[in-house]
A and B are shown apart, each in its own frame.
Chain A
Amino acid sequence: MNTRPLLLLLVFSAPSAWGQQQAPERKQRPHRTGLWFEFGSGSGAVRIGCGGCEDARFASGSSGYLRVGGTVSDNVLLAVETYGFDDKAFGFVEGDSSIVANDATITLSVLWYPWRSGVFLKGGAGLASGDFTVTPDTGAALETHGVGVGMTFGLGYDWPISRKFAITVNGAVYITAIGDIKIANNFVDDVIAEMYQFSVGFTIR
Chain B
Amino acid sequence: MRAFHTVLGFVCLVIGLTPAVSRAEECPRRRVLSAVGEALFVNLTVNRLDAWARNQPWAYVDPASWARNLRLGWTWDEDHFFTNMFSHPYHGGLYFNSGRDNCLGYWGAAPIAFLGSWTWEYLGERFRPSLNDFYMTSIGGIALGEVTHRLGATIRNTKATGSSRLFRELAALVVDPIGGINGLIRGEWGQVRDNPPEHDPGAFMFRFNAGVRWIADSNDFSNPVGSPTIIAEMNYGDPFERPSWAPFDVFNVRAQVSPGGGGLNLLRASGRLYQTSLNKSARRNRHVFMVSQRYDFVNNPAYKFGGQSIETSIQSRWRLGRGSTHLRTKFGADGILLGAIDAPYSGVGDRTYDFGPGVGLIAALTLERRQTVYLEWYNRIEYLHSVSGAAADHGIAFTGLEGLLPLRHGIGLGLCLSAYARSSTYSDKPVEQREFPELRVFLTLITSHQPGGMLQP
B74 touches A149 (CB 8 A): no
Give the CA-CA distance A36 to B139 in the complex, in Å: 26
Question: Interface stretch among B17-25, B382-390, B405-413?
Answer: B382-390
Chain B residues with CB under 8 Å of A141's CB are none
B222 is an interface residue with CB less than 8 A from chain A = no
A148 touches B357 (CB 8 A): yes
Chain B residues with CB under 8 Å of A131's CB are none
Give the CA-CA distance A34 to B24 in the complex, in Å: 34
Chain A residues with CB under 8 Å of B338's CB are 125, 149
B107 touches A49 (CB 8 A): no
Scan residues 425-448 of chain B and give those whose CB is less than 8 A from a CB of chain A.
none
B114 is an interface residue with CB less than 8 A from chain A = yes
Chain B residues with CB under 8 Å of A179's CB are 386-388, 391
Chain A residues with CB under 8 Å of B356's CB are 148-149
Scan residues 305-325 of chain B and give those whose CB is less than 8 A from a CB of chain A.
310, 314
Given contacts A9-B287, A121-B111, A125-B337, contact A175 B274 (CB under 8 A): no
B289 is an interface residue with CB less than 8 A from chain A = yes
A200 is an interface residue with CB less than 8 A from chain B = no
B75 touches A192 (CB 8 A): yes
A149 touches B287 (CB 8 A): no
B110 is an interface residue with CB less than 8 A from chain A = yes
A177 touches B131 (CB 8 A): yes
A190 is an interface residue with CB less than 8 A from chain B = yes
Given A78, A127, A190, which contacts B357 in the complex, CB threshold below 8 Å? A127
Query: In chain B, what residue has the closest Cβ to A122?
Result: B111
Give the CA-CA distance A149 to B131 in the complex, in Å: 10
- Size of the chain B interface, CB-CB below 8 angstroms: 37
A72 touches B278 (CB 8 A): no
B72 touches A53 (CB 8 A): yes
Given A14, A56, A72, A75, which contacts B71 in the complex, CB threshold below 8 Å? A56
Given contacts A126-B337, A149-B357, contact A18 B75 (CB under 8 A): no
Question: Interface stretch among A92-100, A106-114, A164-172?
Answer: A106-114
A192 touches B74 (CB 8 A): yes
Give the CA-CA distance A122 to B391 in the complex, in Å: 32
Give the CA-CA distance A125 to B142 in the complex, in Å: 14
Chain A residues with CB under 8 Å of B314's CB are 6, 10
B357 touches A51 (CB 8 A): no
Chain B residues with CB under 8 Å of A51's CB are 75-76, 348, 388
What are 19 A-B residue pairs whose CB atoms fall within 8 Å in the complex? A9-B287, A10-B314, A14-B276, A14-B289, A17-B277, A56-B72, A56-B73, A112-B107, A125-B135, A125-B139, A125-B338, A177-B76, A178-B387, A179-B387, A179-B391, A190-B76, A192-B74, A192-B75, A194-B74
Report which A residues bind B (CB closer than 8 A): 6, 9-10, 13-14, 17-18, 21, 47, 49-51, 53, 55-56, 72-73, 75-76, 78, 108, 110, 112, 114, 121, 123, 125-127, 146-149, 151, 153, 175, 177-180, 190, 192, 194
Report which B residues bind A (CB closer than 8 A): 30, 32, 71-76, 107-108, 110-111, 114, 131, 134-135, 139, 274, 276-279, 287, 289, 310, 314, 335, 337-338, 348, 356-357, 385-388, 391
